[in-house]
Amino acid sequence: MHDGSFPESAAWQRAPMVTRPAELLAQLGLDAGLEGLDFERLRDFPLRVPQGFVARMRPGDPADPLFLQVWPSARESADAAGFSSDAVGDLASLKAGGLIHKYQGRALVIASGACAVHCRYCFRRHFPYGESLASRGNWRQALAQIAADPSIEEVILSGGDPLSASDDKLSAFVAQLEGIPHVLRLRLHTRTAVVLPERVDPALLDWLSRTRLQKVVVLHVNHANEIDAAAAAAIERLRGAGAALLNQSVLLRRVNDSAQILAALSERLFACGVLPYYLHLLDRVQGAGHFEVSQFEALQIMTELAARLPGYLVPRLARETPGAPAKTLLSW
Ligand code: SF4
């Protein structure tokens, strides 16, 4: 479960957040009676959305694709067969210190349990972050395991969102990674850089541009409307720091389940210097069943998308299977 809090205080951490469903509806001029989760269910994974992200939603439109990603719909309480609290088998791979070592050559560190936005389809929405030392900023054990395994060439900072951690902690961690000769690449998986672009500030850019490690930033954007001018400027700053930029999306019912919407997303990303990388089928996490698009339909969408776009703008359709040695690619 996300702890939803930021332990340190920096300017971006004080950015205004909308956390009450009634407030979100009022700001968007939506029907106050729109059905949402009751308080008890909402407590485990509360509403959280930066004010700046709300500003990218269309007022008066309950079908807005950004609104649907954050609205705690009453549909979340419907039981869906085959949906579980640990949809991708993270818990079986979690090692001491918040390290997840599922794939050859790469290790993932849960760098923070917090996120700037709470996405209702999140596959880690039930993840026990509180039990992960790394999510509380103590990365000593994770570093020791990385140092002891020469096969690890790439370290992925994930979460939650790694950019929820302070720059002091991130830069100290990266400095220690740099001291491990077999680590060549640093990858950041972040949604915050787009939903809260002020997070990409001089302190972040300073340590990111200085590290000897090759840098890859994998953004998480699901719809072209998420990239407003401020988000595009943040992406440009990351590029300026020397990061290769990729994007991964989740295929979500009513949000981006058409070739037309996905083509617009790919084109918007590329205009910002970002290559589409993966389009994930929904991880089957409890509460997210209403977002699911079947594999059959997803493949039809991909065929249409490939007909519309040059190959380098077509993301690869993938599914994560618990226990598998790699993601399962469903399209190339
Ligand atoms: S930002 Fe990522 S980790 Fe956080 S809630 Fe959204 S999908 Fe989940």
The answer, yes or no, to whether residue 83 has pLDDT greater than 90, is no
Hey, which of 122, 156, 248, 283 would you mutate to test ligand 1's pocket, going by the most ligand atoms within 8 Å of its Cβ?
122
Determine the pLDDT at residue 112.
87
Last residue of a domain, one of 77, 107, 135: 77
Please tell me the number of Cα atoms within 13 Å of 108 on its side-chain side.
Answer: 18
Same domain, 61 and 199: no
Give the rounded percent of residues in the chain with a pLDDT score beyond 90: 70
Residue 5: its pLDDT value, please? 47
- Statement to judge: residues 161 and 283 lie in one domain: yes
Instruction: Compute, in angstroms, the gap from residue 35 CA to the centroid of ligand 1.
Output: 23
Q: Could you tell me the residue range of the domain that residue 118 belongs to? A: 90-329
Query: How much is the pLDDT for 91?
Result: 65
Q: Does 166 fall in a domain?
A: yes
Mean pLDDT, the chain, whole residue set:
90
Q: Distance from the CA of 118 to the center of ligand 1, in angstroms?
A: 6
Pocket test for ligand 1, best of 47, 135, 191 (most atoms within 8 A of CB): 191
**Cα 259 from Cα 299, distance rounded (Å):** 11
Please give the helix or strand (H or E) that residue 198 lies within, else none: none
Atom of ligand 1 nearest to the CA of 159: 3
**4, pLDDT greater than 50:** no
Residue 253 forms part of a structural domain = yes
Our mutation pick for probing the ligand 1 site, out of 47, 49, 117, counting the most ligand atoms within 8 A of Cβ, is 117
Tell me, in angstroms, the distance from the centre of ligand 1 to residue 122's CA.
5
Q: What is the pTM of this model?
A: 0.92
Cα separation, 326 vs 96, whole angstroms: 22
> Between vectors from CA 135 to CA 5 and to CA 1, what angle results, nearest 5°?
60
Residue 177: per-residue pLDDT: 96
Amino acid 6: pLDDT: 47
Q: Report pLDDT for 326.
A: 73
The model's pLDDT over 317-327, given as tens digits with 9 standing for 90+, comes to: 999 877 676 78
For residue 36, report the distance from its CA to the centre of ligand 1, in Å. Answer: 20
Best probe residue, ligand 1, of 45, 48, 119 (max atoms within 8 Å of C-beta): 119
Give yes or no for residue 146 having a pLDDT over 60.
yes
- What is the atom index within ligand 1 of the atom nearest the CA of 124? 8
Q: Which of 48, 109, 118 to mutate to test the pocket of ligand 1 (most atoms within 8 A of CB)?
A: 118
Confidence bin at 3 (pLDDT 50/70/90): very low
Which of 95-99, 133-137, 256-260 is most confident?
256-260
pLDDT tens for residues 221-244? 999 999 999 999 999 999 999 999
Distance from residue 181's CA to the centre of ligand 1 (Å): 31
Residue 3 lies in a domain: no
Q: In whole angstroms, what is the distance from residue 101 CA to residue 94 CA? A: 7
User: Is 2 part of any domain?
Assistant: no
Nearest Cα residue to 52 out of 158, 162, 192: 192
User: Does 68 share its domain with 201?
Assistant: no
Between 27-41, 55-69, 173-187, 295-309, the lowest mean confidence (pLDDT) is in 27-41
Which residue's C-alpha comes closest to atom 8 of ligand 1? 122
Distance 159 CA to ligand 1 centre (A): 8
Instruction: Catalogue the long-range contacts made by 90-97 (C-beta closer than 8 Å, 24 or more residues apart).
Output: 90/124, 90/127, 91/128, 92/322, 92/323, 94/132, 95/145, 96/133, 96/141, 96/145, 97/132, 97/133, 97/134, 97/138, 97/139, 97/140, 97/141, 97/142, 97/143, 97/144, 97/145
Q: Name the token pair of 284.
A: 């089957």
Sign of the C-alpha dihedral computed for residues 44, 47, 50 and 53 taken in this order: positive
Please give, one letter per residue, the 3-state secondary structure of 265-297.
Answer: HHHHHHHCCCEEEEEECCCCECCCHHHCCCHHH
In this structure, are 41 and 168 located in the same domain?
Answer: no
- pLDDT for 273 equals 98
Whether residue 170 is predicted with pLDDT greater than 50 in this model: the reply is yes
* Judgement on whether residues 68 and 95 belong to the same structural domain of the protein: no
Which residue has its alpha carbon closest to ligand 1 atom 3? 160
User: Ligand 1: which residues within 6 Å by Cβ?
Assistant: 115, 117-119, 122, 124, 159-161, 191, 220
Above 70 in pLDDT, residue 93? no
Q: Are 161 and 34 part of one and the same domain?
A: no
For the chain, how many structural domains are there in total?
Answer: 2
In a domain, 6, yes or no: no
Q: Does the pLDDT value for residue 145 go beyond 80?
A: yes
* Burial track 178-206 (b if 16+ CB lie within 10 A, e otherwise): eebeebebbbbbbbbbbbbbbbbeebbbe
Q: Is residue 204 part of a domain?
A: yes
Q: Average of pLDDT values for 163-175? A: 93
Q: How many whole angstroms separate alpha carbon 97 and alpha carbon 269?
A: 34
pLDDT at 1: 44
**Higher-confidence position of 141 and 96:** 141
Task: Locate the ligand 1 atom nearest the alpha carbon of residue 115 and give its number.
Answer: 4
